[in-house]
Amino acid sequence: MINLIWSLNLHPRPNITRSQLVAILPLVVAHTMGNLLTNISLGKVAVSFTHTIKAMEPFFTVVLSSLFLGETPTFAVVSSLVPIVGGVALASMTEVSFNWIGFATAMASNLTNQSRNVLSKKLMVNEEETLDNINLYSLITIISFILLVPFTIFLEGVKFTPSYLQSAACQGLNVRELCVRSVLAAFCFHAYQQVSYGILQMVSPVSHSVGNCVKRVVVIASSVIFFQIPLSPLNTLGTGVALLGVFLYSRVKQIKPKPQTKAA
């Protein structure tokens, strides 16, 4: 998809310098590990439980933004994040199926994904190393693909051979449906990440994480609708609390700190 965009001149191809490549590599590692850890968690526990844990992203963002960007959040901002995280957790409590591997990998993905977001924001404001959001994410994706190919071939390469697919088809696997769904999933995932990076360039990492919290509420609600899972009052209450937290956060962020007057 990226090469198609560049080949059709839908977006200018970047001219990468050595210093830019060095600056991007930590983002690539964080991006690759974040997605890998998330998928491991999804394979071990329920979707709702993974997204419950990943609702902790704003806290990681506040800490990392403070360390790398020098941003000091106010008490009001930190307080407004509590109902968001608590609400999302409450909304998915009835679906939780605890597993230590799933828990640990989801928590680790929080750290890696938010490290990527904060480092990306730092790169975007560095005029010497700056890249627009589309090219930045495109380069991260391409290098991440190159990093994962050897591991994919080593771990599951045999599953892509014609003989293995034919054997799996004889056992009831619909290979065509698998391929179509894989392509659709890849397209939707790339589109989501591209939009996410576009938003990240316009807002702070904390605001970006708050949006992700709302996204998790939508994911949980969508899974309830798609899989026809009854929605309990507890789920409804959790969703409401999370959305209330988002509203409070938006109000708090609009309040400008009063300038400190120097003592005579």
Q: What is the pLDDT of residue 181?
A: 92
Listed ranges 33-37, 53-57, 110-114; the one with the highest mean pLDDT: 33-37
Average pLDDT rounded to a whole number, residues 216-237 = 74
Lowest mean pLDDT of 153-162, 204-213, 244-253, name the range.
204-213
* The 3-state secondary structure of 202-235, one letter per residue: HCCHHHHHHHHHHHHHHHHHHHHHHCCCCCCHHH
Express each pLDDT in 11-39 by its tens digit: 888 888 888 888 888 888 988 998 899 88
Q: What is the pLDDT of residue 264?
A: 43
pLDDT band at 223 (very low <50, low <70, confident <90, very high): confident
CB 220 within 8 A of CB 48: yes
**Buried residues in 56-74 as b, exposed as e (16+ CB within 10 A):** bbbbbbbebbeeebebebe
Closest to 235 in 3D by CA, of 94, 37, 91, 96: 91
CB atoms within 10 A of CB 202: 9
Closest to 196 in 3D by CA, of 110, 113, 72: 113
Half-sphere exposure of 28 (CA within 13 A, CB side): 18
Express each pLDDT in 176-216 by its tens digit: 888 899 899 989 888 887 787 677 667 776 676 667 667 77
Express each pLDDT in 66-105 by its tens digit: 777 777 777 887 788 888 788 877 776 766 666 788 888 9
DSSP state of 255: S
CB 105 within 8 A of CB 41: yes
Listed ranges 109-118, 127-136, 171-180, 243-252; the one with the highest mean pLDDT: 171-180
Half-sphere exposure of 198 (CA within 13 A, CB side): 7
CB 108 within 8 A of CB 37: yes
Model pTM score: 0.73
Express each pLDDT in 122-147 by its tens digit: 666 555 556 777 788 888 889 999 99
CB 243 within 8 A of CB 217: yes
CB 24 within 8 A of CB 122: no
Distance (Å, whole) CA 146 – CA 141: 9
CB 134 within 8 A of CB 190: no
Distance (Å, whole) CA 164 – CA 41: 26
CB contact set of 216 (below 8 Å; sequence gap of 6+): 51, 52, 54, 55, 88
- Measuring CA to CA, how many Å separate 220 from each of 9, 39, 134, 192? 38, 16, 29, 17
